[in-house]
């Protein structure tokens, strides 16, 4: 089960503003507190943060909302965060602050059907992440066959993706994060 949190309405509930921009560290911190409370109140293992209808996002707010949220959920057992509805502006702000923290997140950009990786990554992680979105669940051998890699190389990449909560791992198999149903 996936929990969906629409950020634009939550922003308006959190701070009295006529705007839909996610700007300032103070706004970001207040919004993250609301997101954390919402996550805590539900049993879901995966949270989808929906940026649709969010306007501009600055770096300080991206740091508070996304980077600090990921740091917080990293301390919880098996909780996954996926972003959706992100614009190019959001991609830039989020990607850069996550790189600074050594974090990464899967994000569905507006109009795209498969998620992309934002933040800290490597060529192997990026390739493996994209491949598993297309190939679907499987083990290291399946990914290795698909990419023409050694099994060890594929296993290393999958293990890193799983540790970063970018894919789900269970009993030697791996699967992409569940995606929201298309409207």
Partner 1 sequence: MRVIELPPSLEDRTLDQVAAGLGGWPPEPFLLNAHGTTWASPYGLVALLTLGQALAEAKLPRARFAVPESAEAKSYWSRMGFFHWAAEYFDLVGSVRKKAFDNPSDVLLPITPIRAFDDVTNVVGTIQERAQRILSSEINLAPQATVRFVMTLSEVCQNIVEHAGTGGWVAVQTYFWKKRLGRKVVSIAVSDAGIGFRRSLESQASKFGDRWGDGVALEMALMHNVSRYRDPGRGQGLYHIRHYLSRWQGKISVRSGTARITIIPPWDDDQSLAEQLPFFPGSQVQITIPAQEGGDTQ
> 19 is written with which tokens?
């705007």
Residues contributing to the site for partner 1 (CB under 8 A): 15, 17-19, 21, 23-27, 55-60, 63-64, 67-68, 88-89, 92-93, 96-97, 100-101
Q: What one-character-per-residue DSSP string does the chain give?
A: -EEEEEHHHHHHHHS--S---B-SHHHHHHHHHHHHHHHHTS--SEEEEE-TT---B-HHHHIIIIIHHHHHHTTSTT-EEEEEEE-HHHHHHHHHHHHHHT-EEEEEETT-SS-EEEES--HHHHHHHHHHHHH-SB-HHHHHHHHT--HHHHHHHHHHHHHTTSEEEETTEEEEPPPPPP-
Whose Cβ is closer to partner 1: residue 15's or residue 126's? 15
Whose Cβ is closer to partner 1: residue 50's or residue 64's? 64
Whose Cβ is closer to partner 1: residue 26's or residue 173's? 26
CB of 183 to partner 1, least distance (A): 26
| CB hemisphere CA count around 49 (13 angstroms) | 28
CB of 23 to partner 1, least distance (A): 5
CB of 111 to partner 1, least distance (A): 16
> 30 is written with which tokens?
């207040």
Whose Cβ is closer to partner 1: residue 36's or residue 58's? 58
CB of 48 to partner 1, least distance (A): 23
CB of 24 to partner 1, least distance (A): 4
Whose Cβ is closer to partner 1: residue 92's or residue 156's? 92
């Amino acid at each position: 089960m996936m929990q969906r949190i629409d950020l634009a309405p939550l922003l308006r509930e959190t701070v009295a503003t006529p705007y839909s921009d996610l700007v300032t560290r103070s706004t970001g911190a207040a919004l993250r507190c609301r997101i954390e409370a919402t996550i805590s109140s539900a049993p879901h293992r995966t949270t989808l943060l929906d940026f649709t209808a969010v306007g501009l996002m600055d770096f300080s707010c991206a740091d508070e909302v996304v980077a600090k949220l990921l740091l917080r959920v990293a301390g919880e057992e098996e909780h996954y965060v996926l972003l959706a509805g992100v614009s190019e502006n959001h991609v830039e702000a989020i990607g850069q602050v996550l790189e600074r923290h050594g974090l990464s997140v899967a994000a569905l950009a507006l109009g795209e059907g498969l998620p992309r990786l934002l933040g800290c990554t490597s060529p192997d992680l990026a390739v493996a992440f994209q491949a598993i979105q297309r190939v679907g669940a499987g083990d290291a051998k399946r990914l290795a066959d698909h990419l023409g890699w050694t099994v060890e190389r594929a296993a290393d990449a999958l293990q890193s993706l799983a540790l970063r909560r970018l894919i789900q791992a269970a009993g030697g198999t791996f699967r992409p994060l569940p995606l929201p149903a298309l409207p």
